Chains A and B, each alone.
Chain A
Amino acid sequence: MSAGGGGAFSSRGTRFVAGSSTPASTSTRVYTVPTIEATSVSFGGIGAAEIDVTKLSDQWKQFVLGTTDIGTMEVGGFVKNSTAIPIPSSGSATPQAMCLIFGTDASRGVGDENGNLRVDVWAYLVGVSVEAAVDQAVSLTLTFRLTDGISVYTRNAGDTAWVRIREVGRTFDDLTPT
């Protein structure tokens, strides 16, 4: 990986993190870490509605964009020993904040993360699948419905904190990952 975060980087070390900070707004925000030994994380697709505004006189289709939908996030992994499997909460109207750091080599520690990427999202747990089979670990897939907004950060060599480079929708207060 090149300095400044310009190169590809490994998924190794990718992790959800808890955090501590005092929310600047009145909204309650607790960063949640999935109770799973994660082996994969997948964003289903952040998309914006395509609105067809083509007129009869047009030769080519013309579009404008509508509302952005952050989509879903799927987290696959193993059921953790001694930890109950999470389930969706009916009627919940309070999404949980989640912070995902891609590719950080945890052994290097926070503050030595050269060009890493961090994504904060608001999410509800909406789907749980569990599989047990002969000679396999008990595996689990959690599906999160992302709502409200998303923030993207980078942290390059020399940065003393995460730098927010993109934010859509509902904002996050700065988090100190732990």
Chain B
Amino acid sequence: MAISSYASQFTTGAGSIIGEITAISFSGITAAEIDVTQLSDTTKKYVLGTADGGTIEVSCNTTNAVIALPTSGNASPTSFVIRFGPQGTVSTPSVLATFTAYISNTSVEASVDQQVTTTYTLRLTGAITMSTSTTV
């Protein structure tokens, strides 16, 4: 059955997001499409190239904690684990996404009669693993 976004959070990874998270959006995990159509073919044929984890946008209500910023020249990505929905149990395992990423963009917005919000863009690097868990 479908799962609610309720209780979704960053969990066991080394990385965390500073702020009260209100939305998480994977922009698109993709694989390059390589056109291998020959002259003799009547329809287009493709094989897949390298997969790209893409980016994740995390929207937050800003808190009193120091806002995280991108680090120039960083070559050591941080590990993250996102759990969609509440903690998993034996009968209803949770759905997890495990990956490493850099904070590549931070934007902050303040406007009349609104809370201050921060949006972080995480650039995923390397493999992303989708799994389920009965304990996380």
Contacts and interface: CB of A to CB of B under 8 A. Distances in A.
A168 B43 contact: yes
Main SS at interface, chain B? strand
B22 A133 contact: yes
Contacts of A131: 23-26
| Band of interface residues on A | 35 or more
A79 interface: yes
A88 B46 contact: no
B110 interface: no
Nearest to A85: B130
B69 interface: no
B1 A37 contact: yes
A42 interface: no
B43 to A, nearest CB: 3
Contacts of B92: 81-82
A137 B3 contact: yes
Interface stretch (A9-17, A64-72, A102-110, A111-119): A64-72
A92 B26 CA distance: 22
Interface in B1-56: 1-6, 8, 22-31, 33, 37, 41-51
B115 interface: no
Interface string A87-99: 1111111010000
B116 interface: no
Given A68-B42, A126-B33, A130-B25, A137 B2 contact: yes
Interface of A: 37, 67-70, 78-93, 95, 124-138, 143, 145, 147-150, 168-170
